[in-house]
């Protein structure tokens, strides 16, 4: 259990370091990523195969999703990083509580080579719902070996 917390701490620290380095090298790109200048609300979640429902997901894979919700601009921006999985074929934000599958509500570009990022136009009411009840939503990544989902991470406040 301690190893899981240490790994999560390391991943989050690396993500924060990456975001800070972007701010130094390209302030405009950093603003788009972290939403600071646009008033976005950031969420970070680690993704594992054990979280996938219904499972099994990939037992060797892991990843991190950095999601920024910007209701005023009707935008959801994201960065997905995955490792130890075959190339991703799809990625989404779904509506469902932990342990349950749910429908896709926001399509994301899959991290085919291990990383993807972008912004998607989303209904502001959906963004508000995700922001207010993040634990009712999750990010997942699919691939050929795990077409129902290789990795999943529940959003949290």
- Secondary structure letter of residue 140 according to DSSP: E
Q: Is 135 inside a domain boundary?
A: yes
* Span of 4-18, 57-71, 123-137 with lowest mean pLDDT: 4-18
Is residue 17 situated within a structural domain? no
pLDDT score for 4:
52
Q: Kindly state the average pLDDT of the residues 68-94.
A: 97
Residue 114 to residue 37: CA distance in whole angstroms: 27
Is the model's pLDDT at 103 over the cut of 50? yes
Return the axis-axis angle of helices 2-25 and 27-34, rounded to nearest 10°. 140
| Domain assignment of residue 2, yes or no | no
Residue 24 falls within a domain, yes or no? no
Tally of domains within the chain: 1
Asked if 149 contacts 140 with a C-beta cutoff of 8 angstroms, the reply is yes
Residue 48 lies in a domain: yes
88 falls within a domain: yes
pLDDT attached to residue 18: 44
Mean pLDDT of the chain: 84
% of the chain with per-residue pLDDT over 70: 75
Task: Give the model's pLDDT for residue 38.
Answer: 57
Q: Which domain holds residue 42?
A: 32-154
7 belongs to a structural domain: no
For residue 128 the two structure tokens come to 């508000």
Domain CATH for 69: 2.60.40
Residue 25 lies in a domain: no
Tell me what pLDDT residue 157 has: 82
């Amino acid at each position: 259990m301690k190893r899981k917390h240490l790994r999560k701490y390391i991943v989050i620290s690396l993500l924060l370091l990456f975001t800070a380095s972007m701010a130094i090298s390209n302030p405009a790109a950093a603003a788009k990523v972290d939403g600071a200048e646009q008033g976005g609300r950031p969420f970070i979640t680690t993704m594992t195969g054990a979280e996938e429902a219904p499972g099994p997901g990939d037992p060797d894979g892991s990843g991190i999703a950095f999601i920024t919700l910007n209701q005023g601009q009707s935008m959801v921006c994201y960065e997905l990083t995955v490792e130890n999985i075959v190339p991703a074929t799809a990625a989404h934000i779904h509506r469902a509580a932990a342990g349950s599958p749910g429908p896709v509500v926001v399509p994301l570009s899959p991290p085919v080579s291990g990383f993807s990022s972008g912004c998607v136009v989303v209904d502001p009411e959906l963004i508000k719902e995700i922001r207010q009840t993040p634990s009712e939503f999750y990010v997942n990544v699919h691939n050929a070996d795990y077409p129902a989902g290789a990795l999943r991470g529940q959003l949290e406040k």
